[in-house]
Structure 1
């Protein structure tokens, strides 16, 4: 007994130690040495959160150890706050002032500001050094990243780390194409890219008012009036601008490119963006510093010769700030600086006074400006009137202002920019793969790719559910489907995608997930319809059919307003919206649209962004103020999809096969990664899906599907009970009943529901042949049984005749062979009685198809 207790004790100790050793934390968590899991944001925050101080063992390149052994981030050095108990050493402050993504102002106090605030026409430094030419040059220098060479390949420009599986795979993932240099000559290293149009069904025919771009173009058809208009609208083939005789530019774009048949307007000349593919619109441009500049008449002095502006405070300060000496002899006379009219009563100025041109000039303190009526008085500046001042919220005070952030975000050290805590992942679909880009670490990884590299796997729309960590995408090829995969498990490479929708779906493109109500919306560009699926119970409904003149593309959903929005680049291009139940449909925007493509929603500002592939613009429309403006007017890209988070837009570009990051206020652009035919983009982060929104269907009693109603309806109710296609709602407002023609449809669907998704697409003649074969086999079995029973009967008769005086009676148990092809009651509620017990590991749920049938879908 004693040895048994000792053995149990030893086993328990081993189990505890093993469990601690093999313990793993969830994503966005840090594993302490004692086995405890803490949020990743608490790692190296200067506090012992683990209990064993293991979370404060930090990378010294990013942290600083105070003399009292306290550990702080280097970004917290010299920020005006005493993070070390004895404050920081001034020498250390000079050496370790700002982090790699920050800029140090020139004069005291030497504050650190984010490099994203450089050269944005706002003085974020008190001395304005963040707007100097040197500062503007800094933002054009790419950030150098460090890669783990054991698992990553570093691009030659040192801007990105990519997984080694992408090295020499025939597709350029580095913006400098260095991952495809010096590759061995093999079939696997050759490019196998295939355009989207090659996968479009051969039966695709353009309408009479459209021009066919050819099989090699990612856009099969364009408007006929775009033919020979000086703008390439057929990607890859450029067929719309070939064989154009007597090429001339239109009046709105009068300038022709040098070597190509393309045109640009006067505003595009020397604007810093190459609108011609040969860059001829940016050639022979004079130095911007030589242009006639306009100085601020209230705050700046214009130098005479070098055509620059300096602050009034630097005039007559005995320093040649202009370089030509004009600031020390205003009006051409040096004696003008000797007359000090500000000595008497401050020159009657309310705040500041300086000498200028033989008279005084009144100036104001920061936060104030000269009154346009009385130049001696100063009035408060409403900084909040400028939407570029703060990332989120702005509060104006007398002579000042304060930026504030929405819940969950934190303020950066420049006190203007609001940032989300933790790593941000950019999910994007591309030819043959689903990928993610870690924006902070500049790592690019594969989430899913078919094992067969030659398969025509083409995902397009992409979205996610942060709570469950599930990723969804619309699959164009090899089989039109809507697919789900677990974001965490996909890292192990052992996760197989789960098909959510595969029947009555032809060309799914747009995808949007409502994380509050658990609804998945998608658009089908072939059927020109929008449908919805409840991912919890598998119930499905076609919400709207748009007609033959429409071409529905991108789709987004706003759970707060319970509305969905989509782009339509058909005969009459427009952006529309409606309630999630398919009611209250409205045209939101129709002016100035040609090919509205990607669509994105900023849920914190109710801003709707879209990119137009034809006009090359990115625009935004506010759902509250109804104001519209252009973010980028001359986009050198064929924008396909777009997303927004924090201060940034993320765009997939078909022309250059890249994903671009664009500042949503200034329009500044940065290439993030190269990718073969990038499709959908989505920023994966907890704050990208706000949870403080009411669930309208929380207490619903609908038999089939609960869909929220639009908040714009008068006397609205929160939700409506919806029935599947080919069914109608009974008078109780909750129960559905199929139409008379649906009984046969559903029995066939249920009888074939055990087939795998690909098997369900077999030819109807094959099904009929199988049924006939089964009937024949059953008939043969019955005939055999009849013959056996007859022969047994003859034997008994003969035996009875032989042994008449001693009869024996045999009692036979009749074994019935029952074959049930299907069993279904026309009333939909009876289907639930046939479901397996919920205690099974894998159960089946009925899913109504939009063609009226029901499939049984496996759930975990």
Structure 2
């Protein structure tokens, strides 16, 4: 239908890329009504109905409607029953991902002619001469470069942007790296700038929690068992009465809530080590003297995994697992006269 609209509404179609931008400016309703009216009037004018055959220069739809041959396989349901879009082949034209056909000249011209951007994907710099080539191969209009929006989908249109003074729009925030992001993204807890400058020196509002690192997160994220701040400050000094933790969480002695799966996993997830006390280890784990559980393979590997050295005591020659850096060597290489480990510890304490 785009080809048909172009014939009578050239000025309107020139701005079709800005249609989505109009949404932000609250003009989307007017644009939508104008576009719908143009489509309906163009199709209605072209369609005729007859009980007999259509004129030679027209196509007969399954519902007995007749429409110009040029409307067949143009990607639009002009018949109303989609019979004009069945069994289509694009021939010399480009086949879009959605099955539409567009002229070859429309490929990589920085215009979304297909409607699904498939004509602007996998473009090369040589083909994308009139637009901006994204890192993912999309070819977009130059006007979207450094506008503060992730038009490419991979942020490549917002990288290495330079702005002098207050070149960002009044509705945008100027990042330290020169990028512009929407002002609403400032202090929202996400690194929208790419250098975290939009998350520095934040003053949180009443609906947010101020992290020790100055980030702002939703107040509901405080004491939920997740490290939303990135520095665990949202999980400190939490108080819980009785069973205030979720049913899927473990209540630490300090009041923090952590995922139940983190209980007795060998890591101090609570911050006070209460999740690693009084643990009953499973068959694949080793029980430390301090009641921590560690993987059984960590016993006698030369590392103090328990924290109290209990995993490295009472090790026998056949039990000890020697390792070289991050690799293990066969026990047969122990005390064979060759320094297989870089530090030579496979040749120490040998008896001949």
> TM-score by structure 1 length?
0.14
More strand by share: 1
Q: Which has the higher contact order (CA 8 A, sep 6+)?
A: 1
Q: Which structure features the higher share of helix residues?
A: 2
Give the TM-score, by structure 2 length.
0.28
